[in-house]
Amino acid sequence: MSEESIRRPGGRSARVRAAVLDATLAELADGGYDQLTVEAIVARSGVHKATLYRRWGGIDGLIADVLSRSVEQPWQVPDTGSLGGDLHAITRLIYEGFTDPEQGAIPRNLIVAALRSSQAAQALTGFFETQHGLAAEVVSRAVRRGEVPEGTDAVDVVRTACAPLYYRLFVTGEPLEEEAAGRAAEAALAAARAGAFLPRERPA
Amino acid sequence: MSEESIRRPGGRSARVRAAVLDATLAELADGGYDQLTVEAIVARSGVHKATLYRRWGGIDGLIADVLSRSVEQPWQVPDTGSLGGDLHAITRLIYEGFTDPEQGAIPRNLIVAALRSSQAAQALTGFFETQHGLAAEVVSRAVRRGEVPEGTDAVDVVRTACAPLYYRLFVTGEPLEEEAAGRAAEAALAAARAGAFLPRERPA
CA end-to-end span of chain A: 67
> How far is A192 from chain B, CA to nearest CA, in Å?
8
If you measure CA to CA, which chain B residue comes closest to A168? Answer: B163
C-alpha torsion sign, points A164, A166, A169, A173: negative
Interface A–B counts its CB contacts (< 8 A) at: 128
Virtual CA dihedral for A116, A66, A156, A91, nearest 10 degrees? -100
Return all residues near A138 (Cβ < 8 A) that are at least 6 apart. Answer: A77, A78, A79, A83, A86, A87, A90, A158
Return all residues near A13 (Cβ < 8 A) that are at least 6 apart. Answer: none
The per-residue pLDDT for B5 is 47
B72-193 belongs to CATH 1.10.357.10: yes
Q: How far apart are CA A57 and CA A110, in angstroms?
A: 17
Q: Do A191 and B195 touch (CB under 8 A)?
A: no
Contact between B172 and A166 (Cβ < 8 Å)? no
ipTM over 0.95: no
Which whole-number Å values give the CA distances from A133 to A66, A88, B12, in the listed order? 19, 17, 57
Tens digit of each residue's pLDDT (9 = 90 or more) over A129-188: 999 999 999 999 999 999 999 999 999 999 999 999 999 999 999 999 999 999 999 999
Measured CB to CB, residues of chain B less than 8 Å from chain A are: 34, 111-112, 114-116, 121-122, 124-125, 128-129, 132, 153, 156, 159-160, 162-164, 166-167, 170-174, 182-184, 186-191, 193-197, 200
The per-residue pLDDT for B22 is 95
> How far is B197 from chain A, CA to nearest CA, in Å?
7
The per-residue pLDDT for A201 is 66
Q: Which of B111, B160, B172 sits opposite A164 (nearest CB)?
A: B160
Residues of B in contact with A114 (CB under 8 A): 173
Per-10-residue mean pLDDT of chain A, 204 residues long, equals 52 93 92 87 96 95 92 88 98 96 89 87 94 97 98 98 97 96 98 95 54
The per-residue pLDDT for B201 is 66
Contact between B139 and B192 (Cβ < 8 Å)? yes
Q: Do B190 and A194 touch (CB under 8 A)?
A: yes
Q: Which of B115, B188, B195 sits opposite A115 (nearest CB)?
A: B115
Q: Which of B122, B163, B194 sits opposite A167 (nearest CB)?
A: B163
Per-residue pLDDT of chain B (204 residues; tens, 9 = 90+): 444 445 555 788 899 999 999 999 999 888 878 889 999 999 999 999 999 999 999 999 999 999 999 888 778 999 999 999 999 999 999 999 999 998 898 999 999 888 888 899 999 999 999 999 999 999 999 999 999 999 999 999 999 999 999 999 999 999 999 999 999 999 999 999 999 999 976 544
Phi-psi sector, A146: left (phi>0), alpha (psi -120 to 50), beta? left
CA B82 to chain centre: 23
Q: CATH 1.10.10.60 region(s) of chain A?
A: 3-59
Q: What are phi and psi of A32, to 5 degrees?
A: -100, -170
Instruction: Assign domain A3-59 one CATH number from 1.10.10.60, 1.10.760.10, 2.30.22.10, 3.40.50.300.
Output: 1.10.10.60
The per-residue pLDDT for A91 is 98
If you measure CA to CA, which chain A residue comes closest to B112? Answer: A115
Q: Do A124 and B172 touch (CB under 8 A)?
A: yes
Q: CATH 1.10.357.10 region(s) of chain B?
A: 72-193
If you measure CA to CA, which chain A residue comes closest to B116? Answer: A112
Q: Do B167 and A172 touch (CB under 8 A)?
A: no
